[in-house]
């Protein structure tokens, strides 16, 4: 096939039990991109990310990773293939230490073998985590906790990283820091699918973007173009 | 006036038994922390393992403690099977369903034992360690000393495993956040199965130790279940150490009840003290969250 996308969703219908949330979502992410997924609360952004990792009920449609359908694989197998997520609300292992959280992130066989080396990389990205290595994760500040959630996801050596509102609940300065990190990760070769409330910031660092409303993609295109779109400006940028 | 030597003897007995109770309760605690399921049949596995130990000990004519070499791996496999067939289908089900299923399992095990072995107690007639170390007026039963030492060592080994191995990390991470653990690449179902199997294997070890001096009957599981629940509730989610300390407390309470009230009221005393403790510490004495 001429152009195999790194990750591709085709007519995805998914939800929770009987409760259908996604109504035919088509989207894709190519290697090396930052792709933003934005939209109002309850649109189905988190559900989209969870569906990519097999954490929801998929009714129909297909999800392909590097050209291969992954819909039959359990979550941990998808992680082994190189997909992982920084979950909404961070989802840290609260009474484990920072170091143990990071180690847990390297659980797959491949990542475990490289864990020392990856750890050094993560500590270089987040020097604060190194200082707090032996602190209990539940006692970290909001910003530190988010760094740990990102660092932990990186420990699995993902080829594509799904990030669900990494800036949620953080002080403005830390929010900027998080966006810097996202850019830096892409520069180091990690492909990123980013769900964000800070629409303007995320479009500024993204290559392409999708806008989701009520479980459907309602707008898509290069991020720069979407930033200029009157429709989007009115709805999300309050301009 | 109660003889101080008797009190000392009973206290020592309480500490030794407490360690054995901790060993038995540990599996219940690990499974509860991991899967939020209370296995109401937990003590009945001790009972079935005690019969299995008795049968093997009689066949080979060796001390029951030796049968652990066979029963521990056997019950690990039985635990895996029970997990697959009975526990996995009820994960995430209504608590009432989970209770009904595991309580039912306990009754099935009791009825099996009743049908097969009848109600009469069984014990091994020629135990190897049927003597005690005498220090003045104080006597320590060697079989119980061995049981306590093996229990303590097992608790420390499992604690070491939880803290220092990759599988232990998976257990602790999954206990901390079941939703997120798969995102690390952890196969949560596999962690559940192995931990459940381990918990059942520990009941078999406990049973082999207990049968060095004890006798089994179809209802043996009830007191082990009750003591285990008390230990887990009191230990909170304080890990292996929480279980160890509450097991010791329960053992000592039982000994005190037996000394100062009546041997037949020992469980009632444990319960009263338990209610009293939960009154002040609803999350248990050693709880972490
Ligand atoms: N575990 C769940 N079970 C049932 N319904 C759910 C569950 N999680 C989310 N939903 C529902 O699915 C819909 C989409 O939710 P989702 O979390 O995907 O939205 P979102 O776009 O991420 O919103 P937000 O910006 O608030 O995070 C909502 O109506 C929500 O109530
Ligand atoms: Mg969301």
Secondary structure of residue B108 in the 3-state scheme: helix
Q: Are residues A4 and A72 in the same domain?
A: yes
- The residue-averaged pLDDT of B19-42 equals 93
Q: Are residues A145 and A119 in the same domain?
A: yes
- The residue-averaged pLDDT of B11-37 equals 94
Q: How many structural domains does chain B have?
A: 1
- For residues A143 and A174, is the Cβ–Cβ distance under 8 A? yes
Q: Which domain holds residue B61?
A: 4-280
Q: Are residues A70 and A103 in the same domain?
A: no
Q: Are residues A2 and A117 in the same domain?
A: no
User: Each residue of B150-170: pLDDT tens digit?
Assistant: 999 999 999 999 999 999 999
Q: Are residues A5 and A65 in the same domain?
A: yes
Q: Are residues A162 and A70 in the same domain?
A: yes
Q: Rounded to an integer, what distance in angstroms lies between the CA atom of residue A103 and that of residue A112?
A: 8
User: Minimal CA–CA distance to A164: which of B186, B180, B178?
Assistant: B180
Digit-by-digit pLDDT tens for chain A (239 residues) are 557 899 999 999 999 998 999 999 999 999 999 999 999 999 999 999 999 999 999 999 999 999 999 999 999 999 999 999 999 999 999 999 999 999 999 999 999 999 999 999 999 999 999 999 999 999 999 899 999 999 999 999 999 999 999 998 888 888 998 999 999 999 999 999 999 988 888 999 999 999 999 999 999 999 988 888 877 777 776 64
**ipTM of this model?**
0.93
Q: Are residues A193 and A77 in the same domain?
A: yes
Residue B285 lies in a domain: no
Q: Within 10 A of A116 (CB to CB), how many other CB atoms are there?
A: 8
Q: Is B172 in CB contact (< 8 Å) with chain A?
A: yes
Q: Which domain holds residue A197?
A: 1-11+22-82+158-168+186-228
CATH number at residue B128: 1.10.3470
Q: How many structural domains does chain A have?
A: 2
Q: Are residues A3 and A120 in the same domain?
A: no
Q: Count of CB contacts below 8 A, A vs B?
A: 73
Residue A201 lies in a domain: yes
Q: Are residues A99 and A70 in the same domain?
A: no
Q: Is the CB of A45 under 6 A from ligand 1?
A: yes
- Rounded to two decimals, the pTM is 0.91
Residue A215 lies in a domain: yes
Contact at CB, B289 and A95, closer than 8 angstroms: yes
CA dihedral for A201, A202, A206, A212, sign (positive or negative): negative
Residue A147 lies in a domain: yes
Task: List the residue whose alpha carbon is closest to atom 24 of ligand 1.
Answer: A41
Half-sphere exposure of A39 (CA within 13 A, CB side): 21
Q: Rounded to an integer, what distance in angstroms lies between the CA atom of residue A67 and that of residue A4?
A: 6
- Cα B200 to Cα A35, B31, B79, B182, distances in angstroms: 48, 10, 5, 25
Confidence class for position B258, pLDDT limits 50, 70, 90: confident
Q: Is the CB of A16 under 6 A from ligand 1?
A: yes
Nearest CB to A95 within list B180, B185, B288:
B288
Residue B36 lies in a domain: yes
Can you give the pLDDT at residue B289? 44
Output the CA A232–ligand 2 centroid distance in Å. 19
Which ranges in B36-165 belong to alpha helices (H)?
A: 42-60, 68-82, 95-117, 142-164
Q: Are residues A75 and A192 in the same domain?
A: yes
């Amino acid at each position: 096939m001429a152009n195999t996308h790194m990750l591709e969703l085709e007519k995805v219908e998914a939800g929770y039990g009987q409760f259908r949330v996604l109504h035919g979502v088509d989207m894709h992410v190519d290697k090396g991109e930052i792709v933003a997924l934005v939209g109002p609360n309850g649109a189905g952004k988190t559900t989209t990310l969870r569906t990519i990792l097999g954490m929801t009920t998929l009714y129909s449609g297909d999800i392909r990773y590097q050209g291969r359908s992954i819909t039959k694989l359990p979550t941990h197998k998808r992680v082994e293939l190189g997909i992982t997520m920084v979950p909404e609300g961070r989802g840290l292992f609260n009474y484990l230490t920072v170091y143990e959280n990071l180690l847990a992130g390297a659980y797959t066989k491949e990542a475990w073998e490289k864990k020392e080396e990856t750890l050094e990389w993560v500590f270089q990205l987040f020097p604060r985590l190194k200082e707090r290595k032996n602190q209990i994760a539940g006692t970290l500040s909001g910003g530190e906790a988010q760094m740990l959630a990102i660092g932990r996801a990186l420990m699995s050596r993902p080829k594509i990283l799904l990030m669900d509102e990494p800036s949620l609940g953080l002080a403005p300065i830390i929010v900027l820091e998080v966006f810097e990190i996202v850019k830096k990760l892409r520069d180091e070769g990690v492909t990123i699918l980013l769900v964000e409330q800070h629409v303007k910031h995320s479009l500024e660092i993204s290559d392409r973007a999708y806008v989701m409303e009520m479980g459907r993609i309602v707008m898509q295109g290069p991020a720069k173009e979407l930033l200029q779109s009157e429709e989007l400006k009115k709805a999300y940028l309050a301009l | 006036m109660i003889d101080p030597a008797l009190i000392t003897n009973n206290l020592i007995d309480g500490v030794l038994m407490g360690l054995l109770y901790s060993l038995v309760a540990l599996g219940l605690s690990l499974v509860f922390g991991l899967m939020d399921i209370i296995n109401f049949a937990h003590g009945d596995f001790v009972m079935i393992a005690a019969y299995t130990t008795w049968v093997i000990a009689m066949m080979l004519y060796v001390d029951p403690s030796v049968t652990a070499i066979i029963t521990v791996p056997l019950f690990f496999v039985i635990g895996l099977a029970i997990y697959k067939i009975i526990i996995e289908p009820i994960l995430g089900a209504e608590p009432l369903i989970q209770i009904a299923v595991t309580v039912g399992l306990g009754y099935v095990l009791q009825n099996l034992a009743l049908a097969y072995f009848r109600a009469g107690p069984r014990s091994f007639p020629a135990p190897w360690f049927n003597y005690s170390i005498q220090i003045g007026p104080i006597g320590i039963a060697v079989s119980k000393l061995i049981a306590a030492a093996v229990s303590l060592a097992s608790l420390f080994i499992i604690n070491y495993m939880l803290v220092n191995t990759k599988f232990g990390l998976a257990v602790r991470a999954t206990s901390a956040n079941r939703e997120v653990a798969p995102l690390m690449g952890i196969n949560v179902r596999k962690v559940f199965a192995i931990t459940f199997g381990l918990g059942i294997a520990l009941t078999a070890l406990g049973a082999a130790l207990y049968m060095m001096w004890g006798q089994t009957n179809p209802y043996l599981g009830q007191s082990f279940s009750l003591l285990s629940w008390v230990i887990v509730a009191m230990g909170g989610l304080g890990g292996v150490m929480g279980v160890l300390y509450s097991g010791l407390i329960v053992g000592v309470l039982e000994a005190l009840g037996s000394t100062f009230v009546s041997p037949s009221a020992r469980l009632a005393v444990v319960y009263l003290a338990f209610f009293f403790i939960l009154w002040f510490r609803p999350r248990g004495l050693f709880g972490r969250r």
